[in-house]
C-alpha cells in the first residue's frame, strides 16, 4: 500500500510539474513575436486568413517594426480582397525596410487591383532591380499581366518570357504566355505554351489551363481535340460561367 501511495504521489507531482512547465512555455510564446508570426504564417498557408491576421497582429503588438509580419499581414488583407488595408501594411513594411523586394512586388499587385497601374509598374520594377531578390519571375509575371491590361501585348510577351527564362517550370507563366499568344491570334504557339503549363501543374489544379488549351484548339480549328478536352474537364469544373461557355463550345462543335 505504501509503494502504491508513493507511486501515485510521484505521478501527481509529475503532472503538476508538466502543467506548470506547459504554462511557462505558453507564457513565453505569448511574448515571442517570432512564434506569433510563425503561427500566423501557418494559418495563412492553411487558408485560415482571419486566424492568420490575429497572430500577425499579436507579433506586431510585441514588435511594431517586424517587417515580415507587416508584409504577411498585407498579404492576408489582399487575400480577403481588402486592398486598401493591404496597401497600408505593405507601405508600413517598406517604411521599416525599404529593400524588402517581395513587399514591393506585393504592393504592386495591390495597386494593380485598385487600378493604379503606373504605381504598380513602379513597384514591380523596383523588385526586379533588386540584385538580391531570388524570385524575379514573380514581378516579371505581374508586369506581363499589367501590360496585358494595358493592351500592350508584345511588351507583355517579352516580360512573361523573362519570367519563364528565370523559372523554367513556371506553369502560370506558360499559361499567361498562352493567353497573350491567343490574343495575338498565334494559336499554334498558344497551344504549345498551354501544353507546357500542364506539364508543370498538379493534375488536380489543371482545369483552367486545360480549358484555355481547348479554346485555342477550337480557334485553331482542331475541333476534335477541343471537344475531347472540354468533355474530360467538364465534371471537374466548379465555375458556373465556365460550364456555360463549355456548353456553348460543344454546341458549336456539333
Is residue 40 situated within a structural domain? Answer: yes
Is residue 49 situated within a structural domain? Answer: yes
Distance between CA 137 and CA 101 in Å, rounded?
12
Contacts of 200 (CB under 8 A, 6+ apart): 169, 170, 171, 174
Closest CA to 92 of 60, 133, 114, 116: 60
Is residue 194 situated within a structural domain? Answer: no
Is residue 124 situated within a structural domain? Answer: yes
In this predicted structure, what is the pLDDT of residue 3?
A: 47
Give residue 119's domain range.
Answer: 31-133
In this predicted structure, what is the pLDDT of residue 254?
A: 79
In this predicted structure, what is the pLDDT of residue 44?
A: 96
Mean pLDDT (the chain) is 91
**Region 68-85 average pLDDT:** 97
Split into its structural domains, the chain has a count of: 1
**Region 17-25 average pLDDT:** 51
Closest CA to 143 of 165, 90, 157: 157
> Is it the case that residue 17 has pLDDT exceeding 50?
no
Distance between CA 208 and CA 15 in Å, rounded?
54
Distance between CA 64 and CA 71 in Å, rounded?
12
Is residue 44 situated within a structural domain? Answer: yes
* Angle, CA of 239, 240 and 244, to the nearest 5°: 120
Contact by Cβ (8 Å): 104, 95: no
Give the CATH number, domain containing residue 65: 1.25.40.10
Is residue 246 situated within a structural domain? Answer: no
Helix, strand, coil percent values for the chain (each to nearest 5): 80, 0, 20
**Phi, psi for residue 81 in degrees, rounded to 5:** 85, 10
* Residues 164-223 pLDDT 10s: 999 999 999 999 999 999 999 999 999 999 999 999 999 889 999 999 999 999 999 999
Is residue 54 situated within a structural domain? Answer: yes
Distance between CA 199 and CA 174 in Å, rounded?
10
In SS3 terms, 21-59 reads as HHHHHHHHHHCCHHHHHHHHHHHHHCCCHHHHHHHHHHH
Is residue 162 situated within a structural domain? Answer: no
**pTM of the full structure:** 0.87
How many helices (H) does the chain have, and how many strands (E)?
14, 0
> Is it the case that residue 77 has pLDDT exceeding 90?
yes
Q: Which grid cell is 248?
A: 456553348
> Is it the case that residue 71 has pLDDT exceeding 90?
yes
Distance between CA 150 and CA 157 in Å, rounded?
13
Amino acid at each position: 500500500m505504501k509503494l502504491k501511495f508513493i507511486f501515485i504521489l510521484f505521478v501527481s507531482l509529475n503532472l503538476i510539474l508538466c502543467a506548470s512547465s506547459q504554462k511557462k512555455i505558453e507564457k513565453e510564446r505569448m511574448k515571442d513575436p517570432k512564434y506569433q508570426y510563425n503561427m500566423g504564417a501557418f494559418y495563412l498557408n492553411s487558408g485560415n486568413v482571419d486566424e492568420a491576421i490575429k497572430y500577425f497582429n499579436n507579433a506586431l503588438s510585441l514588435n511594431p517594426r517586424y517587417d515580415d509580419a507587416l508584409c504577411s499581414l498585407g498579404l492576408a488583407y489582399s487575400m480577403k480582397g481588402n486592398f486598401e488595408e493591404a496597401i497600408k501594411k505593405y507601405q508600413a513594411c517598406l517604411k521599416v525596410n525599404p529593400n524588402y523586394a517581395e513587399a514591393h512586388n506585393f504592393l504592386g499587385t495591390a495597386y494593380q487591383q485598385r487600378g493604379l497601374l503606373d504605381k504598380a509598374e513602379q513597384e514591380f520594377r523596383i523588385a526586379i532591380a533588386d540584385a538580391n531578390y531570388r524570385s524575379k519571375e514573380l514581378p516579371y509575371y505581374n508586369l506581363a499581366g499589367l501590360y496585358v491590361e494595358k493592351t500592350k501585348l508584345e511588351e507583355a510577351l517579352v516580360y512573361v518570357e523573362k519570367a519563364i527564362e528565370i523559372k523554367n517550370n513556371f506553369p502560370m507563366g506558360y499559361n499567361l504566355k498562352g493567353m497573350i499568344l491567343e490574343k495575338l491570334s498565334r494559336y499554334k504557339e498558344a497551344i504549345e505554351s498551354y501544353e507546357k503549363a500542364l506539364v508543370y501543374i498538379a493534375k488536380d489544379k489543371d482545369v483552367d489551363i486545360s480549358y484555355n488549351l481547348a479554346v485555342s484548339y477550337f480557334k485553331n480549328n482542331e475541333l476534335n481535340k477541343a471537344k475531347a478536352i472540354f468533355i474530360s474537364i467538364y465534371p471537374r469544373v466548379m465555375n458556373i460561367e465556365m460550364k456555360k461557355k463549355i456548353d456553348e463550345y460543344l454546341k458549336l462543335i456539333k
